[in-house]
Amino acid sequence: MAGHSFEYHPDAVEEAAEAYLWYADRSDEAAEQFLSELRSARQAATDHPQRQAAYLHGTRCCRLRRFPYGLVYVERGDVIFGIAVAHLRRRPGYWRNRLKSQ
């Protein structure tokens, strides 16, 4: 079912902001590309949530193409919850306690 609504966990918003600022310190273009890819990942998750590969702890992950990040999410009815904007080479599953609040 396409057209799910999307909500970010507050910690995922903070992670996205931190990553954006890290890239912005190095290159405005890289920071904007990061945001663009994150928006694309969100769109993919809302349009076709089951299309992404199963990930850790019952989640799915839409990987960003040019960055080592992924949008980790769960589907709850017609709402997609963005659990984390996770750096995929660091501490896998650190966000699992966030699943309890969804």
Residue 97 lies in a domain: no
**pLDDT at res. 102:** 64
**Could you tell me which residue, 11 or 101, shows the higher pLDDT?**
11
Q: What is the CATH number of the domain that holds 16?
A: 3.30.2310.20
- Position 13 in a domain: yes
**101 lies in some domain:** no
pLDDT of residue 60: 97
Q: Which two three-digit tokens encode residue 13?
A: 């918003």
**How much is the pLDDT for 1?**
45
What is the four-CA torsion angle of 95, 100, 101, 102, rounded to 10 degrees? Answer: 90
Contact 98, 83 (CB under 8 A): yes
Residue 99 covered by a domain: no
Q: How confident is the model at residue 92 (pLDDT cuts 50, 70, 90)?
A: confident
Q: Supply the pTM of this predicted model.
A: 0.91
Taking only the tens place, the pLDDT of each residue in 8-66 is 999 999 999 999 999 999 999 999 999 999 999 999 999 999 999 899 999 999 999 99
Q: Which pair of tokens denotes residue 29?
A: 């273009």
Is residue 2's pLDDT more than 60? no
pLDDT score recorded for residue 100:
82
Number of domains in the chain: 1
> Residue 19 belongs to what domain range?
5-91
45 lies in a domain?
Answer: yes
